[in-house]
Every structure is written in structure tokens, then in C-alpha cells.
Amino acid sequence: MIKPHRWIIAGVMAAVWLVVPVSPVAAADVLTIGFTNSETGALNVDSIGQLNGFKLWRDQVNANGGVHAGSKSYQVNLVTYDDQSKPDRVQQLYGRLILQDNADFLFSPYSSGLTATAAIISEQYGKIMITTGASEDKTYQLGNKYLYEMYTPASAYLTGALDALKTVNPKARIAMAYADDAFAKAVATATRVYAKAIGMDLVFDEAYAPNTTDFGPLINKIISAKADALIGGGHYADGATLARQVYDHKAPLDFVSLLVAPDSPKFATLGEAATNVTAPSQWAPQATFKPDFGPDPKAFGDAYRTAYGSEPSYHAAGGYAAGLILQHAIEQAGTLDQDQVAAKLDQTNIEIFYGHVQFFTDPGRHGLQAGHSMVIVQWQKKGGQLVKEVIWPKAGATAPLAYPLR
Amino acid sequence: MIVSRSQHNTNNKLVFRPDGEDHPSESEHEPERRFMLGLFASMLDGVLVGAVYGLAASGLTLIWGVMDVINLTHGAMVTMGMFGVYLLFTETGLNPYAALVPVAALGFVAGVVVYWTAVHRVVGRPPLMSLLTTFAVNLMVIGTGTILWSTSPYNVDVNLPGFSLGDYTFTGNHLLAALAALIIAGGLSLFLGRTRLGKAIRAVAGNRMAAELMGIPSSQVLARAFGIGIALAALAGALIATLFPFTVLSGGSYELKSFVVTVLGGLGNPTGALAGGILLGLMEGGLTPFITVSWIPVIEFALFVAVLIAFPHGLFARRPRR
């Protein structure tokens, strides 16, 4: 005999089953992509742009029927956690994404340091991870098989800035001040070699702690070195602070090119301090690439502005592009099988709104980006407003380099 | 495609930016002169910022000295001071320096509330209890701040004209922040030495039981002392916000500096804290031209340990009475 309270439980369960609507995502086949993002911590400004890019790709793909693999269509489900910009959180959460959330594929966290940590986990479990916002070359030179990089490697970040500077002042006295983190150090190492190769004079070369807020002492050293150009930086928080204090201290510099920070639309809030500051950028909204797959640059920019009410940064473009490249490889493979999708990623050689994408496939640098190239952008004052223009390479420039800085 | 104004700029350089290569007639002592000027500029910058470090530390050391509580909410309260001035400036248009008054008042009230809710019951208990309690409050404040403002950088956009020595510029913000720190620290010293409440705070710090026997309501006095300590932290945060961009997490680094300053200036010695702050700033500024800036925190904390060992009562502490 069934006790009365069991009847009650059965009745409630039946009512729930009848009343609660079944979500469309649950009914369709689902493609789960896991990643962490830095909603908090030092990297949050850069990371949020990347997250917005992932979300916009998901929304557009799902609205268009999902990712098509063979005879099936998969609705994209993003599973994400806040890593607080901390490697230990990344280590813990990527394990969770794979083992508990059963992620089919992974996107990287933001930054080279966090991605290096996540890559250990993704390789351990043989999961494909498309990296974006992570350009330190070393991570891709460790024999990883399932790691694919969307960004131009760190070694190429400031070479364009040096080339542009050389055209206007080949005798520039350059100061390089950079954050003491994996990404910025990788950039600095390559830049040092490149400056020497093209005969540019590096008169000051020093790292600073990534959480530095008082750049006064460093700026005084740069002035003492009689530098007239500054290159370096790290990520948003330190780069924006450095740019503001260079302005406040009236440092006699004619050229400033900083990593990451000036590319963010938020950088324009620095006002005069942002004027004529340049930055290497993975992508600019003015790009005119003709895509083989996905939206063109204008369509992406318009959709992003509609969704988020701001200009897309290159972090946002990188996030969207990561989704697009994964989608392309899955649709080419016709399956979610990791090895078959990896084989298609190895063969990737296409143009999308973000530019050309191709990966090195030799074991020494497998997954390193081989096809994409960077531009240099500059905040220029036009009609009293700060506008981000592409000033390098000359072939893709939308405005001439404004030189000197002030 | 590139449009250069370098020639024009180079001309400017000949006028305004003398350097050895462009000026054959310049003295051969120019490099030494320039180095000395750079060193002086760096040290002056250090002193100006150091005064603000000192103000921040005076709040920590006051609480430490009066009630033997190592206040780990200190960094969070510095952060609240930063956001206080930012919100008053951006939302109401109040001048950031005028905003120091409401920030101090709000800091005092917040301090009294934290005292009665979290600190009162652990005063006089083993130090670990007050450490854990204040650390818990710190996490709550930072967590709430993170929810409200995320960890994005904020900036109080104020630029006061300063002065220049050669190529080195000292902003008006730095000068005014240092001046404000000195005035506030002087006011604190007068308050502790001349007012009834100040004397009561010192009496309770010296011997709580004796003060009680003299009719001083010690718990009330401790609550107010805690409030003053937090108000000082918030004021320091407000001044720092006029100098540098900040995030919800910025207070932590100033809390660490406050510990170094407190040890330099003497535990429980607010006036010594100001001297300790200036000394720390001077040391930072004086060392910077000679070493990589990444080494500065290493040297600071090595000094912290060395002073703790050699001068456990601080460099500027009065010798304890026997």
C-alpha cells in the first residue's frame, strides 16, 4: 500500500512536469563550450570585451539554427565562471568545466598567464581550446596538440610601432617600460631584438609591477634617460594609469605606444591624456577584410554596437572570431569528435571579418597563429572628439600618424 | 601617408629641452647636473606621496596603539575613501577637496558602526580574534564594493597646476595632497594632545582600568578612537584618489605600506606615522634612480623586518617608561 505522503510527492512531480515549460535549448542537441572570464580582478576590463564577443557569436549562431555538424544542429550553450584574474581559480574551474559541466570544447580565459594555466588542464583531458587574449608564444611551443591561438603572437606586438616611429624619427631615443608579467615580458623580449635589428636606440628598458599605481618614479627615470618615445605597458589598468601620469607629469615624449589599454573604448575617458597615444591592435572596426565565412567587419561592428552600445575592442572581435573558427572547424568535420575537429583546425586557412586565420602545425609551435597580422591604432582628436584611427601599416591606414604627441 | 611635425618639434626641443647632443656649447657637467636634478625630483615626489602614506598609516597606528587591534579593514576603508570622493565628485559635482569633509564624517560613522558590531567584543582578547574579525569585515566590504563597482579602474579627473624643474613636473594634486596630509596629521596631534576626548583616548590607551576608575567611559572612547582611525584611512584614500586611478582592490597595497610605515614610525604613534610615511616615500624616491623599480617593494619589506628586529618600538617611538 502506498502511503498518502507518497501520493502527494507524486502529484507535485506530475504538476511540475506539466507546468514547467521545457526550454528550447534542452530539447535540441546542445554544444557546450566552457571557459572562465575575469569578471573581477586586474584583468576585468579586457576580459569583459572578450566575453561580449563570445556571447554575441552564441546569440547569432543560435538565432540562425545553431552549429551544423553532419545531420545534426547544435544550439550553443556557454558555461562560464569568474576566475577573479587568478591562476589558481583557472586551474580549479577548467577541471570543473571538463569533468562536471561536460564541456565539449573550451575557450581560453583572458591573458597569457591564465591561458598557460588553463592549457595544462585542457591538454591533460584532450579538449580543444581556442585561445583568444593570450598571445605569449611560449605556451604554443610546449608540444600542445589541442590548443589554437587566434591572436598574432606577442613577439609581433610592438614591431609595427617601431616601424611607424622609424618613419618619422629614425633617431628616436626609446624608453621601454613594461609590466612584469608573462605577456608583456614576451613582447619586450622580442621588441628588444627587433629594435636592435632595425637600428633603433633603446635608451631605457625596465619592468614594473603589474599592480603599480604610482608611475611617478618610473616617469622621472624615463625623463632622466632623455627618452623621446615610450613603448611598453601591459594590460588595461596599468596602461591607462601610465598614460594618465605621463600626461600629468608633462613628460617630454613625442611618441607613446602602449599594449592593450589604448585599444579599449574606455581609454578615451582619459581625455587629453589619451590624445595621440598609439597601441598595437589585433583588429580595428574600420577593417575591410572580405570574409569567406561569417559576417563582414561592418556587420560585426553594427551587431556589437546594437547589443552592447559601445565600439567593439579587439578583445571583443577576438572572442567572436574564436567562436567562428570553432564553428567552421566543427561544420567542416561534421562531428564533435575532438581529433577530427582538431584535424580541421589544423587545415584552417580562411579569411573572416577579423582577418586571415591559419595555424602552424609543426610540433614545435603547433597551434600558434600563422595567418593573422596586427595594425597600429591611434587616438586622434577630430572635431573635439577622440577617434581611434588605424595609422599602420600604411596600406590599411585610415589616417596619418599624428606626431609628435603634444 | 605619414605626416611629421618632427622638425618643428626638434626646434622646440632646442629651446625647451636642452640635451648634450643638441647643444655643443652646453657644459660637460650636464649629465651630472641632469642626474642630480632627476634624483631631487624623484625624492621630492617621494616625500609628497610619502606624506599621504603617513596619513593612511596614522589611522592604522592609532587603532593599534589605543586598543591593541590590528585593523585589517584598513585597506577596505582606504578604498571606501577613494570611492567616496569619486562618487561625491561625479554624482554631485562637489570639489574633490571639499569632499574630504563628508568623506571623513562618513568614515567616522562607518568606524563607530564597525567597532560596535565587530570589534568591541574582541578588544582585550587574543590578537588572533581581532585579526580574524577585522579580516572578515574587510572581505565583506571588498565583496560588496566588487558587486557595486566591479574591479574596473576609476579616476577622479582633477588636474591642478603644479610647477616644473627642467623636464620634471610636480602636479598641483601631489602638492595639495601632501599639504592636506600634513594639516590633517597636525590636527590629529593637536586633537590628541589638547582636547578632552583626545586626552581620554590617550588615557584609555595608557591604562584602560585606571581611566575607567577616573570616570572615563572607555568603551565609548574606544568606539570614537576606532571611528577616527577609519576616518583617517578614508581621508588618505580620498587624497590618493586625486593622485592615481584606483579599483576596489587598490586599498590592499596601501594597507601593506601602512604596516611598513607603522613599524617605522612606532606602533601606536600617529605623529611618528607621518614621519615614517615621509621617510618611506623619501627612500622610494631616493632609491628609484639607482635600481629597477621592481626591487622597491622587496627593499621596503626587508626594511620592515630589519626595523622590527632592531627597533621593535619604531624609529620615532619614545622609549617605553620603566
Domain containing residue B78: CATH number: 1.10.3470
Q: Please name the helix (run of DSSP H) or strand (run of DSSP E) that holds residue A74, with its range, or none.
A: strand A72-82
Task: Considering only the beta carbons, identify the residue of A206, A400, A404 that sits closest to B2.
Answer: A400
Q: Which residues of B touch A395 (CB under 8 A)?
A: none
Which residues 278-317 of chain A have a CB within 8 Å of chain B?
Answer: none
Q: Do A251 and B49 touch (CB under 8 A)?
A: no
- pTM, rounded to two decimals: 0.79
Residue range B173-196: mean pLDDT, rounded: 93
Kindly state which CATH superfamily the domain A156-281+375-396 is placed in. Response regulator (3.40.50.2300)
Domain boundaries, chain A: 27-152+287-365, 156-281+375-396
**Cα–Cα distance list, A111 to A45, A148, A260 (Å):** 12, 14, 11
Domain membership of residue B99 as a residue range? 42-150+170-310
Pick the closest to residue B261 from B7, B113, B51, B12 (CA basis).
B51
B173 touches chain A (CB under 8 A): yes
pLDDT in tens, chain A (406 residues): 445 566 565 565 555 554 444 444 445 699 999 999 998 888 888 899 999 999 999 999 999 999 999 999 999 999 999 999 999 999 999 999 999 999 999 999 999 999 999 999 999 999 999 999 898 888 999 999 999 999 999 888 999 999 999 999 999 999 999 999 888 999 999 999 999 999 999 999 999 998 888 899 899 999 999 999 999 999 988 999 999 999 989 999 999 999 999 988 889 888 899 999 999 999 988 888 889 999 999 999 999 999 999 989 999 999 999 999 999 999 999 999 999 999 999 999 999 999 999 999 998 999 999 998 889 999 999 988 999 999 988 877 899 999 999 8
- At B147-179, the pLDDT tens digits run 898 888 888 888 899 898 888 989 999 999 999
Cβ–Cβ pairs < 8 A, chains A and B:
136
CB atoms closer than 10 angstroms to residue B37: 17
Using a 10 angstrom Cβ sphere, with 0-12 exposed, 13-18 middle and 19 or more buried, the burial of residue B113 is: middle
Which residues 189-228 of chain B have a CB within 8 Å of chain A?
Answer: none
Contact B79, B145 (CB under 8 A): yes
pLDDT at A104: 97
Using a 10 angstrom Cβ sphere, with 0-12 exposed, 13-18 middle and 19 or more buried, the burial of residue B288 is: buried
Q: Do A394 and B1 touch (CB under 8 A)?
A: yes
B68: alpha, beta or left? (left if phi > 0; alpha if psi -120 to 50): left
**Chain center to CA of A130:** 11
Q: Do B250 and A208 touch (CB under 8 A)?
A: no
- At B40-74, the pLDDT tens digits run 999 999 999 999 999 999 999 999 888 889 999 99
Q: Per the domain annotation, does B67 fall within a domain?
A: yes
- At B1-17, the pLDDT tens digits run 334 433 344 333 333 34
Largest Cα span, chain A: 95
Pick the closest to residue B298 from B260, B247, B244, B262 (CA basis).
B260
Q: Do A180 and B246 touch (CB under 8 A)?
A: no
Question: Which residue, among B247, B287, B295, would best test binding to A if mutated, counting the most A CBs under 10 Å from its CB?
Answer: B247
Number of structural domains chain B divides into: 1
Distance CA B14, CA B148 (A): 51
Q: Per the domain annotation, does B9 fall within a domain?
A: no
Query: Does residue B317 surpass a pLDDT of 70?
Result: no
Nearest-CA distance from B82 to chain A in Å? Answer: 13
Q: Per the domain annotation, does B35 fall within a domain?
A: no
Q: Per the domain annotation, does B120 fall within a domain?
A: yes
Q: Do B152 and A212 touch (CB under 8 A)?
A: no
Q: Per the domain annotation, does B221 fall within a domain?
A: yes
Task: Considering only the beta carbons, identify the residue of A44, A85, A248 that sits closest to B171.
Answer: A248
Contact A215, A208 (CB under 8 A): yes
Contact B185, B55 (CB under 8 A): yes
A268 touches chain B (CB under 8 A): no
Which of 3.40.570.10, 3.40.50.2300, 3.40.640.10, 1.10.3720.10 is the CATH number of A27-152+287-365? 3.40.50.2300
Nearest-CA distance from A203 to chain B in Å? Answer: 14
Q: Do B169 and A254 touch (CB under 8 A)?
A: no
Q: At A377, which amino acid appears?
A: V
Q: Which residues of A touch B9 (CB under 8 A)?
A: 254, 403-404
Task: Considering only the beta carbons, identify the residue of A244, A254, A400 that sits closest to B3.
Answer: A400
Nearest-CA distance from A200 to chain B in Å? Answer: 16
Residue appearing with cell numbers 567616496: B84
CB atoms closer than 10 angstroms to residue B198: 17
pLDDT at B320: 54
Which residues 130-169 of chain B have a CB within 8 Å of chain A?
Answer: 146, 150-153, 155, 157, 159, 164, 167-169
Residue appearing with cell numbers 581581532: B130
Contact A211, B253 (CB under 8 A): yes
- At B219-240, the pLDDT tens digits run 999 999 999 999 999 999 999 9
A236 touches chain B (CB under 8 A): yes
B9 touches chain A (CB under 8 A): yes
